[in-house]
Amino acid sequence: MSRFVQFLAVDWSGARGPRQKGIAVAIARADGSAPALLAPPDPKGWARAEVLALLSALKVPTLVGLDLGISLPHADAGAFFPGWDASPADARKLWALIDRLCEADPNLEAGGFLAHRETARYFRLGAGDTGDRFLLPGAATREGRFRIAEHAQRANGVRPVSNFNLVGAAQVGKSSLTGMRMLHRLPAHLPVWPIDPLPEEGSVVTEIYTAMAARRGGVTGSATKLRTYEDLNDALDALGSPPVSGTGAIGDHASDALVTAAWLRLVHRTRDLWHPPALTPEIARTEGWTFGAF
């Protein structure tokens, strides 16, 4: 029997503004019922602070999956920002730095971090605007730097984009930076695995990658988005979940959250996923991990 009562999947957004159409929150109960979307407090969408409040107020043991990077690459250079003497020592200090540099930004946005004269040097900010430290000396690829977990994601058949790359529809860098501001503000009783040890009871927050859930749901090919209820329910069936109601088109933020909530419920008892071979104590402390990457 699972020690978790429910499984919460959050498709996150790094866009500007007080409310985000790109945020979707889905819940799957341990009783095996169909996953369901949680309605935002406002029809215009979720505010990031409302998701923070939701997680902070969890009353029952919940496994939370956040679709964002919970840290930045560190292992490849021994630092998040090699060459900068103020580079933080671990992920929690990184979150604190981001939140401090963004204290003037509303809505948990991250503009202040990207405008800082030192940190901006490490990011690809736009077409023709690549920081002089975006690539490490002698880099074998122009894609940017990756965490060890992201190399593991690639081995699992998906294609993450570097969190230092803020260009293109597939980039998740802005989502990750805004998400790290939220993580910094979570209450102390809510651990973030594997930066914090996995507790024996209570709720846990993890990083997820919705494309990995879609793969487990039988989605193949380069595209992993489920854009119809029919495709979503086929994936849910492959994950051992009852279908959701609806026909025709569905937004991919909603389908990402729904399929990932069901996936978390299915795979969370797989011991090896909590103990991937490349997850050392140093990686856990600095880079974190993506649950499901192995």
The structure tokens listed for 241 are 């979940």
Domains: count for the chain: 1
39 located within any domain: yes
Residue position matching structure tokens 């501001």: 181
Instruction: Answer yes or no: is 222 within a domain.
Output: yes
| Of 3, 40, 19, residue with least CA distance to 257 | 40
Give the sheet arrangement for strand 36-37, strand by strand: 36-37, 24-29, 6-11, 62-67, 204-207
DSSP state of 192: B
Is 237 part of any domain?
yes
Instruction: Provide the terminal-to-terminal Cα distance of the chain, rounded to the nearest Å.
Output: 24
What confidence tens digit (pLDDT) does each residue in 76-115 have?
999 999 999 999 999 999 999 999 999 999 999 999 999 9
The 10s digit of each residue's pLDDT in 51-73 is 999 999 999 999 999 999 999 99
291 is a domain residue: no
Low-confidence ranges of the chain (pLDDT < 50): none
Question: Domain containing 252: what range?
Answer: 6-70+186-274
Q: Is residue 282 part of a domain?
A: no
Domain-located, residue 207: yes
Enter the pTM of the model. Answer: 0.96
Residue 132 located in a structural domain: no
Cis omega before residue 194 (within 30°)? yes
- Per the domain annotation, does 218 fall within a domain? yes
Neighbour-count burial of 201, counting CB atoms closer than 10 A to its CB (0-12 exposed, 13-18 middle, 19+ buried): exposed
